[in-house]
Amino acid sequence: MKIKHQLTIFSVINKLIIILVLWFLLPLLAEKVVYSHIDKSLLEKKQKFVQHLDKEEINDFLIRKDTTETYASFSTLHSEFLQLYQIGQGTGSPKSFYKNETRIIEEEESNYRILYFDFAYENCYYRLEIGNSLSEMEDLMYVIRIFIFIVLIASIVVTFFSEAVFIEYLLRPFHKIIHTKIKHINDPESFDFTAVETHSDEFKELDQGLHLMMGRIREVFNKEKQFIANVSHELLTPIALLKNRFENLIQNQSLDDQAVDKVVSSLKTLDVLKKIINNLLLVSKIENNQYHANETVNLTELLLELIEEFDDRIRNKNISIDFNMAESVAVKGNKALLHVMFFNIIGNAIKYNVANGTIILSDGYANDQYTITIADTGPGMTPEQIGQVFDRFTRMDLNQEGQGLGLAITKSIAQFHHIAIDTTSEVGKGSSFRLLFPTEAKT
Amino acid sequence: MNILIVEDHRELGSEIADYLVGAGYICKWVDTCEMALEELHSNDFDAMLLDVGLPDGSGFDVLKAVRKQKSKIAVIVITARGELNDKIDGLQLGADDYLTKPFALTELGARLYAIIRRIHGFSANELEIHGFTIQLQDYKVSYDSEIISLTKKEFDIFQYLALNKNRVITRLQLTEHIWGDILEVNSDSNFIDVHVRNLRKKLDKHAPLDWFETVRNVGYRINVEP
């Protein structure tokens, strides 16, 4: 799951919790505030009453038994009332307490906050009730709840979108780092060392870390390249000297046949040495990504060229070529390397074929992947041999000349181009190499 | 024909010089960038063989300096690093050809011949060998103005032997010349014999080929009286 989505979900859940808490707490708080306010005003009224307390007042407020009136006094909107009546037994000292009760005043039912005050006056016990309607407060609570609901839902929606945009903005340098600095880098040489623009220290740190790492990799890489260049220079220069010296030596008329034979055979040895070094250098260069794969190569044309190139060997063994390339597909790659790859496969198909044998070249599609199959009618390989066929210095037939580097190079080139090679073989019938090209390589 | 050889490897330089002197060139051999530039200032050369790895710098620097002077000198860059980049660098800086160590001296001779001919605009685009005319640019061989139809490989072999006349050319050298610097180790050089046999059959129809010599176990040689 993306950080963006995780953060958004987290923030929404967070806000929902806050809303739920406020939904419960805010009315409770408001209620408390309102109660303390009401209580204070009730207390003031009681004190006023107690201050002016005399017989006349008591008589004035005392509910007379002969009337139907239950309340001694109430405001016109029934928001307040006052009630005084005699009770039989008091507790002795005056005491007061608050209570919420439902009262009906003039057939209107309403919740009241009531202050009860028991007191004794001239040996009579009285209870004073001062009430304050709670309907206003209930309205207030309702308004508060609605308010919370609307404001908070609206803020959720608004912040959800603004956060999504902001997170997207925050993470943009991250995506940029991934895309420009990590995903599409094959060669440290092509690494872009310009800093990614960001205000987040973390991404700056990541960017700088990548630069440091890439710098070190580049250093190692260049050292290796330099090493390869040096090795090749140091080895190939003496070989060049020997080769040229022997070539000059052959021209010497005074050499007898035996000496000439030895010189020629030394030249052949030098040639083998040169080719082994060049092959090893080629493999290491491919594996170091020192080649570019940006040419458009038509594979059918390439194979036709190769068959032309092998013409004499094919005729020499009287091999028939079955050319079944139906699609004319071009891929992105390195032409020289692809040439070497097919050269080695077809060369082997000829070398290991029987006289009057056949080589079948065909193409097609397997699950959207373009494939080329090169099959021969050679002696075939055992499953163990198939497993080793791409290893360096492996030779299938010890009587055959060669150093067994051809298919190792083929494998390196295939890997470099992301081509999969599927090898099947049956002893006595022949081998077949199927190359599966990556879908994105097609042009 | 004056050739400047810039090669820091003393023995290799002298082998190259030996070969080129034998082929009729006048050679001057130096082993540093500095000496090369000095020589280029004081003498006229038709061609230069330039090694890239020199003790006091890169051969490419010499190449740059030479090309700045708009000199028409033919330059063949020699390097032991078969690196693609070196090749591209060299050709972009104005090298006329490129050889990777180790190379066959006869290959060097053939390339040098072709480049000098091209750069200095020699009209001699034909080689005369015992009555056979090799038209180098048109890839044609004729005898008494009658065109002989040769395959490309046969033509290449004939031309290569003719350019290196009076020298034994080994099968290996011919293989390398025809198939290029192929990577296949111990590639079978016997195919050369098949092509040479066909070539001789075609030429033999027109004139005797006693000058086209097969050197036992080694290769071939075209003999031309000096």
| Residue A236 and residue A360 share a domain | no
pLDDT computed for residue A436 by the predictor: 93
Task: Tell me the average pLDDT across A312-320.
Answer: 87
| Residue A306 and residue A274 share a domain | no
C-beta atoms of B186 and A403 within 8 A: yes
pLDDT computed for residue B82 by the predictor: 57
CATH of the domain at A300: 3.30.565.10
How far CA B71 is from CA of A416, B34, B58, B66, B67, in Å, comes to: 42, 18, 19, 6, 6
- The number of folded domains in chain A is 3
Q: Measured between CB atoms, which of A236, A251, A402 is closest to B168?
A: A251
Q: Cβ-count burial of B34 within 10 angstroms (0-12 exposed, 13-18 middle, 19+ buried)?
A: middle
pLDDT tier at B121, thresholds 50, 70, 90: low
Round to whole Å and give the CA distance between A140 and A31.
Answer: 9
Say whether domain B126-222 belongs to CATH 1.10.10.10.
Answer: yes
C-beta atoms of A264 and B170 within 8 A: yes
pLDDT > 70? residue A99: yes
Residues of chain A found within 8 Å of residue B9, distances taken between Cβ atoms = 237, 240-241
- Residue pLDDT, tens place only, A267-303: 888 888 888 888 878 887 887 777 888 889 999 999 9
Task: Tell me the average pLDDT across A33-57.
Answer: 84
| Residue A389 and residue A422 share a domain | yes
pLDDT tier at A434, thresholds 50, 70, 90: very high
Task: Tell me the average pLDDT across B129-144.
Answer: 85
Write the CB contacts of A7 (distance below 8 Å, at least 6 apart in sequence): A163, A167
| Residue A405 and residue A370 share a domain | yes
pLDDT computed for residue B187 by the predictor: 57
pLDDT > 70? residue A401: no
pLDDT computed for residue A91 by the predictor: 61
Other C-beta atoms lying within 10 Å of the C-beta of residue A436? 19
- Residue pLDDT, tens place only, A179-202: 888 776 666 777 778 888 888 888
Q: Which of B5, B6, B14, B15 to mutate to test the interface with A (most CBs of A within 10 A)?
A: B15
Q: Which of A247, A258, A338, A401 to mutate to test the interface with B (most CBs of B within 10 A)?
A: A247
Nearest chain B residue to A276, by CA: B185
Q: Measured between CB atoms, which of B15, B80, B195 is closest to A248?
A: B15
Final residue before a domain boundary, out of A246, A267, A287: A287
pLDDT computed for residue A362 by the predictor: 93
Averaged pLDDT of chain A: 83
Round to whole Å and give the CA distance between B113 and B47.
Answer: 10
Which residue carries 């070094």 as its tokens? Answer: A277
B197 touches chain A (CB under 8 A): no
C-beta atoms of B102 and A243 within 8 A: yes
Final residue before a domain boundary, out of A117, A139, A161: A139
* Angle subtended at Cα B217 by Cα B215 and Cα B223, rounded to the nearest 5 degrees: 10
pLDDT computed for residue B80 by the predictor: 74
pLDDT computed for residue A374 by the predictor: 94
Residues of chain A found within 8 Å of residue B170, distances taken between Cβ atoms = 247, 250, 264, 267
Answering whether pTM is above 0.80, one says no
- Residue pLDDT, tens place only, A71-98: 767 776 777 888 888 777 766 667 788 8
Task: Tell me the average pLDDT across A246-251.
Answer: 88
C-beta atoms of A279 and B195 within 8 A: no
pLDDT tier at B182, thresholds 50, 70, 90: low
Write the CB contacts of A340 (distance below 8 Å, at least 6 apart in sequence): A282, A409, A410, A413, B183
Dihedral, A186, A188, A191, A196 alpha carbons, nearest 10: 110
For chain A, percent of residues with pLDDT exceeding 90: 14
- Residue pLDDT, tens place only, A134-169: 887 788 788 888 887 888 788 888 888 888 888 888
Q: Which two tokens stand for residue B154?
A: 């046969």
Q: Which of A180-184, A382-386, A426-430 has the highest mean pLDDT?
A: A426-430
Alpha helices in A252-399 (DSSP H): 257-287, 299-309, 311-316, 335-351, 383-388
- Establish if A303 belongs to a structural domain: yes
State the DSSP H helix or E strand holding residue B88, giving kind and residue range, or none if neither.
Answer: helix B84-92
Nearest chain B residue to A310, by CA: B179
- Establish if A173 belongs to a structural domain: no
| Residue A248 and residue A131 share a domain | no
pLDDT tier at B165, thresholds 50, 70, 90: confident
Say whether domain B2-119 belongs to CATH 3.40.50.2300.
Answer: yes
- Establish if A74 belongs to a structural domain: yes
A308 touches chain B (CB under 8 A): no
Distance of CA B218 to the CA centre of its chain: 20
- Residue pLDDT, tens place only, A199-243: 888 888 988 898 899 889 888 888 877 787 677 778 888 888 999
Task: Encode burial over A177-187: b for 16+ CB neighbours within 10 A, e otherwise.
Answer: beeebeeebee
Averaged pLDDT of chain B: 84
- Establish if A190 belongs to a structural domain: no
- Establish if A427 belongs to a structural domain: yes
B12 touches chain A (CB under 8 A): yes
pLDDT > 60? residue A402: no
CA end-to-end span of chain A, whole Å? 34
pLDDT tier at A373, thresholds 50, 70, 90: very high
| Residue A227 and residue A125 share a domain | no
- Establish if A209 belongs to a structural domain: no
pLDDT > 90? residue A395: no
Cα four-point dihedral sign B166, B172, B176, B181: negative
Q: Measured between CB atoms, which of B15, B81, B168 is closest to A233?
A: B81
pLDDT computed for residue A186 by the predictor: 63
Task: Tell me the average pLDDT across A386-400.
Answer: 67
* Angle subtended at Cα A21 by Cα A19 and Cα A26, rounded to the nearest 5 degrees: 95
| Residue A129 and residue A18 share a domain | yes
Round to whole Å and give the CA distance between A267 and A262.
Answer: 9
Please determine, for the modelled complex, whether the ipTM score is greater than 0.90: no
| Residue A437 and residue A358 share a domain | yes
DSSP state at residue A62 = B
Among candidate residues A326, A340, A360, the one with its CA nearest the CA of residue A419: A340
pLDDT computed for residue B122 by the predictor: 65
| Residue A45 and residue A130 share a domain | yes
pLDDT computed for residue A381 by the predictor: 86
Residues of chain A found within 8 Å of residue B197, distances taken between Cβ atoms = none
Domain that holds residue A58: 3-139
Q: For residues A368 and A435, is the Cβ–Cβ distance under 8 A?
A: no
Question: Which SS3 state, helix, strand or coil, does residue A278 take?
Answer: helix
- Establish if A172 belongs to a structural domain: no
Domain ranges of chain B: 2-119, 126-222
Round to whole Å and give the CA distance between B209 and A273.
Answer: 36
Round to whole Å and give the CA distance between A339 and A305.
Answer: 9
pLDDT > 70? residue B124: no
Task: Tell me the average pLDDT across A416-442.
Answer: 88
Final residue before a domain boundary, out of A139, A173, A190: A139
pLDDT > 70? residue A310: yes
pLDDT > 60? residue B100: yes
Round to whole Å and give the CA distance between B36 and B30.
Answer: 6
**Choice among A43-52, A176-185, A337-346, B191-200 with the minimum mean pLDDT:** A176-185
Cα four-point dihedral sign A43, A48, A50, A56: negative
| Residue A246 and residue A316 share a domain | no
- Establish if A175 belongs to a structural domain: no
Residues of chain B found within 8 Å of residue A295, distances taken between Cβ atoms = none
| Residue A300 and residue A281 share a domain | no
| Residue A335 and residue A258 share a domain | no
pLDDT computed for residue B76 by the predictor: 92
DSSP state at residue A354 = P
Q: For residues A316 and B191, is the Cβ–Cβ distance under 8 A?
A: yes
pLDDT computed for residue A320 by the predictor: 92
